Amino acid sequence: MENEKKVIFSGIQPSGDLTIGNYLGALKNWVALQEEFDSYYCVVDLHALTVRQNPAELRARTLKNIAIYLASGLDPSKNTIFIQSHVTAHSEASWLLNCFCYMGELSRMTQFKDKSQKAGESVSAGLFTYPVLMAADILLYNTDLVPVGSDQKQHIELARDLAIRFNNLYSPTFKIPDAYIGNVGARIMDLQEPEKKMSKSAENPNSYILIMDPPDVIRKKISRAVTDDIGVVRFSEDQPGISNLISILSTITGEKPEQIEKNYEGIGYSQFKSDVADALVEELRPVQEKVKQLLDDKPYMESIYKAGAEKASYVANKTLRKMQKKLGLIPR
């Protein structure tokens, strides 16, 4: 009898337009995994509410994210693609898990500590507890693996802790998930401060490249990317800016960083940057064209996220009912 596929779950917030960090670090990995795993990929719109959103912009970005998922190569017949808020079990399970999570665990979350320092006393309770919602997202689908960047491992640890705690108290209910971190492209860095991960929330627009940026903008941002005065194309901790550009090119072409180093022996940064920009423009061109087509076909888009939510709801609600029963809640 053939073994069942392992389950993967992941999602991206529609809190801003997606960058090449999302594309090269997450989406390309997701596409590579779709034959091997039973995959659930959602747009985590509920997570975006931890900061104030313009409602019209949030709706538009949510749909654009779905379109980018599809345009990047995710096949809806092989993956469950849906919008988080369309599966109400996420919110319900989050509350139940909140009752098993400790204040100390949440206060130690690095992202909360960083963001709460900026917000002061006006920091929202949602920002404090959103790792529990993330745990609910993961645990509802009996998830085996969660593709994340290394900066998100702390959240996976919390999901594991909550699952183990619940299982120990009420008998086995959840699978214990593990992080899945891709080897190449897992961390595309800021073009201006290459010690930081590329983020769509960076104040300097030259720090990131959006998936939907036009070719001239992409070329301009790559040309302005911070490098160094060493003058050698080398993948090294001493050259974070050049190493980041090598990572971008390596993820696109499939060539190892060592091979890229050899290709550019004796060649200056100007030509190297130009080649990185050209490769990125060509990589994104079909994605951008497909996104525009999809956004013009609203009935098709609706059919994808509606079917995805129906499938996701069936699986998530089975897990939710188990939780409710074990906690002593009367079935509906």
**Catalytic residue annotation:** 115, 197, 200
Q: How many CB atoms lie within 10 A of CB 150?
A: 11
Q: Are 198 and 188 in contact (CB under 8 A)?
A: yes
- Note the maximum CA span of the chain: 72
> Kind and range of the H or E element at 174?
none
**Which two three-digit tokens encode residue 213?**
């940026």
Query: Which contacts of 215-224 are long-range, i.e. CB under 8 A and separated by 24 or more positions?
Result: 215/281, 215/285, 218/277, 218/280, 218/281, 218/284, 219/274, 219/277, 219/281, 221/191, 222/191, 222/273, 222/274, 222/276, 222/277, 222/280, 223/273, 223/274, 223/277, 224/191, 224/192
Q: Cα separations (Å) of 24 from 104, 136, 168, 183? A: 34, 26, 38, 12
Residue 310 CA to residue 303 CA, distance in Å, equals 11
Reduce the DSSP state of residue 12 to 3 states and report it: strand
Instruction: Give every CB contact of residue 270 below 8 A, 6+ residues apart in sequence.
Output: none
Q: Angle between the 215-223 and 269-295 helix axes, to the nearest 10 degrees?
A: 150
Residues found in the chain: 332
Q: Are 241 and 228 in contact (CB under 8 A)?
A: yes
